[in-house]
Amino acid sequence: MEDVRKIVVVVEDVDAARTALQWALHNLLRHGDLITLLHVFSPAKSRSKKKIRLLRLQGYQLALSFKDICHNNFFNTNIEIIVAEGDAHGGRIVALVREIDASMLVVGLHEHSFLYRLALTHDNIADSFSCKVLAIKPPITSSLRSRSCSSATMLTTQGSSTNMDFSLIEIARLEIPEIPPPKIPYRICPSPYAIIWRSKKSRRKGIDEITLLIYNLYFHEMFQCHGRRW
């Protein structure tokens, strides 16, 4: 019996996070696996207990919407929800993933993802989480393409020595190239004379049969007309 894998999916209110969850359900989930929906909200500036409770409630409601995505795809999925307060740089997420002893972490990659900020402060992201990290990148729309390119350029310049050691999976539309139909080679007869010879022979055979039939009819008429003189 295989060990139960713990798959942690980071819950964020962005389409990239929802896409990452759906990708994990269809490509990673096995029978008996446990999916942990992890949401970490930034601390409130006022530090009031009422504000913190509101942020926690909003995070839990967001996690419930992710749970609905799981049940819509696979009804009997084992799911747990964790909502915690943390920082925007991903340090709290790292600590919780290590505490859960996750088998892998699935993150929806977007231009404000905490993975970028975490990469600037850690030499190796995978070692920080002590598990496999899968960053799922959804298709980029034309309106966001220019902003994403400039953001990626800035990140590369600032952290050129940073080791971005995680698996990047980019989802894109599959385009099948046009395949020309196979060329059928022209078949050349190895011996054209054989065909000509057979054609002449078959034609000659037909002529001989017709001639013999005419001769038989002719002698038959002659025999009937002249009787015994033949």
Q: What are 162-210's pLDDT values in tens digits? A: 344 556 777 665 555 676 777 766 555 555 444 444 444 555 555 566 6
Residues in the chain, total: 230
What is the identity of the amino acid at 57?
Answer: L
Domain ranges across the chain: 11-136
Residue 61, both tokens? 């409601």
Q: Is 59 helix (H, G, I), strand (E, B) or coil?
A: helix
| DSSP string covering 186-213 | PPPPS-HHHHHHHHHHHHHHHHHHHHHH
**Alpha carbon 159 to its chain's center:** 30
For the chain, the first-to-last Cα distance in angstroms comes to 105
Helices assigned H by DSSP within the chain:
15-27, 49-73, 91-100, 114-121, 125-129, 142-158, 192-226
Residue 158 pLDDT > 70:
no
Cross-strand partners of 62: none
Task: Identify which has the larger pLDDT, 3 or 34.
Answer: 34
User: What is the edge-to-edge ordering of all strands in the sheet holding 6-10?
Assistant: 78-85, 34-41, 6-10, 104-108, 132-137, 167-170
How far apart CA 117 and CA 88 sit, in angstroms, is 9
Please give the pLDDT value at position 223. Answer: 59
How far apart CA 41 and CA 160 sit, in angstroms, is 29
How far apart CA 214 and CA 226 sit, in angstroms, is 18
pLDDT band at 130 (very low <50, low <70, confident <90, very high): confident
Q: What are 58-89's pLDDT values in tens digits? A: 999 999 999 999 998 888 889 999 999 988 78
Residue 121 contacts residue 94 (beta carbons within 8 Å): no
Mean of pLDDT values over 96-112? 92
CATH of region 11-136: 3.40.50.620
Question: Considering the entire predicted model, what is its pTM?
Answer: 0.63
Please give the pLDDT value at position 87. Answer: 83
Spatial neighbors of 77 by CB under 8 A, at least 6 apart, are 25, 29, 35, 70, 71
